[in-house]
Each structure stands twice: as C-alpha cells, then as structure tokens.
Structure 1
Amino acid sequence: MAIKWTEDLSTGIETIDEQHKELFKRVNDLMEACTKGKGKQEVEKVIGFLGDYVVMHFGEEEKIMKAESYPGYDGHKNQHEIFIKKFEEFKGKLEQTGPTVDLVVKMNGFLVDWLINHIKKTDRALGDYLKK
C-alpha cells in the first residue's frame, strides 16, 4: 500500500515538509521493491538509504527545536529515538531473513502508521509553535 502526501500533513516549515515528501517517496520505493520481489539486495539498498535519511531528517528537526526553544523537544526527540530503534530492529531482521512476506507487511505497516501519525500530530504541533 503506497502512502501519499496530502496537504493536511504540511507543517508549514518548507524544509521539513520537503524532507517528509522525500521520506514518503522512499518508503514507497521500499514497498515497491518488497512487493515486486526485487531481491534482498535492492530492498537492503533502499532500507539503508531510508535509515540514513531518517537520521538526517530527525537531526534537522531537533536542531530547529533547540534553536527555537521548543517546549515539546524532549517528547519529540524521544519519539525519534523509538522510531530509530524499531527501524533498526526491522533492518536487522531483514538482513537475517531477507524480505519475507511477514516482515515486509509488519515493516510497511509500522513505517506508514508512524510517519502519518507522527507528522499529523507531533510535527504539526512543532509547525504551529514555530508559526507563532
């Protein structure tokens, strides 16, 4: 199931929104690689990039939050840390078993749910704070 960027996901912070759009594209690339049986190497390549990109994106958000003395910084950062830990678990399983149907379904569900919920709630709250 592909995920689609919609304007209700916009934080109003151009750099963050552009990074979110790229994350959506990469998650969709991962899902496509998995569902089309493109092989373990292709899936590992996409997930490797996605992992690096997420860390860079989270770093950007955290830098902005610190610079703007965002009061929700600790909770937001904690959500990032939880995501990275879970993502690393999926990455490790992928390396062990390859892109099994069960793993792909769980990983895709997690990525889609987390991104949508995190952006709609946590990132939008940051965007609202920065607009004030």
Structure 2
Amino acid sequence: MAYTFTKDLETGNQLIDTEHRQLIDAVNNLLAACATGKGRSELATITKFLQDYTAKHFSDEEKLQVQSKYPDYVNHRRYHEDFKKVVAEICRKLDKDGPTVALVGEVNSTIAGWLINHIKKEDVKVANHIKNKA
C-alpha cells in the first residue's frame, strides 16, 4: 500500500512539508522493495536513507521549534526520539531477517502509521505556532 502526501498532511510550512514528502517517498520505496523481494542491499540502502533523513528532518523541525519558542518542544522532541528507536529496530530486523511479510506489516503500521499520525496531530500544531509567531 503506497502512501500519498495529501492536503490533510500539509502543515503550511514549506521546509516541513518538503521533508515530509521525502519521508513518505522513502516509506513507499521501502514498502515497494519489500513487496517485490528486493535484495537486502537495496533494502539496506533505503532503510539507511530513512534513518538518516528522519534524523535530519527531526533536527530541522526541532530547530524551528526552538527558534519560535514552541511551548511543547520537550514532548515533541521525545516523540522524535522514540520514533528514531522504532526505525532503528526495524532496520535491525530487516538486516537480521530480510524482507519478511511480518516486517512489511510492521513498516506499514509502525513507520508509516506513526508518521502520518504525527504529521496530522503534532506537526500541524508546530507549523501553526510558527506561522502565528511570524
């Protein structure tokens, strides 16, 4: 199942939205690679990108929060740290077991599900805060 960056995922902040699009593309690439039984090296490349880009995006987003004095920064950062651990665990399982059907389901539920939910619930609040501070 591929994910689409729809209007309800837009925060209105160009940097955040651009990075969210790239994260969703990376999740879609990972799902497609798993579904077609691609080799572990291709999956390793995709998961490494997802891991690195998630860290970059979270760092960018957290800088915006600090600059705008976002009041829920501490909790938002904690959500990011918890998610980085989830991505690292998925990468570990993929490296150990390869692209199993169970892992594809886990990518769908944990990575994609978390990302979509986080954007809709948390990142929209951050973007509104930043917009109102401008």
Separation in 2, partners of 1:56, 1:69 = 20
Separation in 1, partners of 2:118, 2:12 = 15
SS in 2 for 1:77: helix
What amino acid is the match of 1:74? V
Separation in 1, partners of 2:70, 2:4 = 28
Output the TM-score relative to the length of structure 1: 0.97
1:46 aligns with 2:17: no
Q: Deviations over 1:27-78 (max 9, x none)?
A: 1011100001112111111001110000000000001101111101011000
Separation in 2, partners of 1:56, 1:107 = 20
The aligned residue for residue 93 of structure 2 is: 93
In the alignment, structure 2 segments of 5+ residues that lack a partner are none
Matched length: 132
1:57 aligns with 2:57: yes
Output the TM-score relative to the length of structure 2: 0.95
In the alignment, structure 1 segments of 5+ residues that lack a partner are none
Separation in 2, partners of 1:36, 1:20 = 24
100-109 or 81-90: bigger deviation: 100-109
Q: Which runs of 4+ in 1 moved over 3 A?
A: none
What amino acid is the match of 2:5? W
Cα deviation for residue 123 of structure 1 reads 0.1
Separation in 2, partners of 1:68, 1:91 = 33
Separation in 2, partners of 1:115, 1:36 = 23
Separation in 2, partners of 1:36, 1:97 = 16
Separation in 2, partners of 1:116, 1:108 = 11
SS in 2 for 1:71: coil
Identity of aligned pairs, percent? 43
Cα deviation for residue 7 of structure 1 reads 1.1
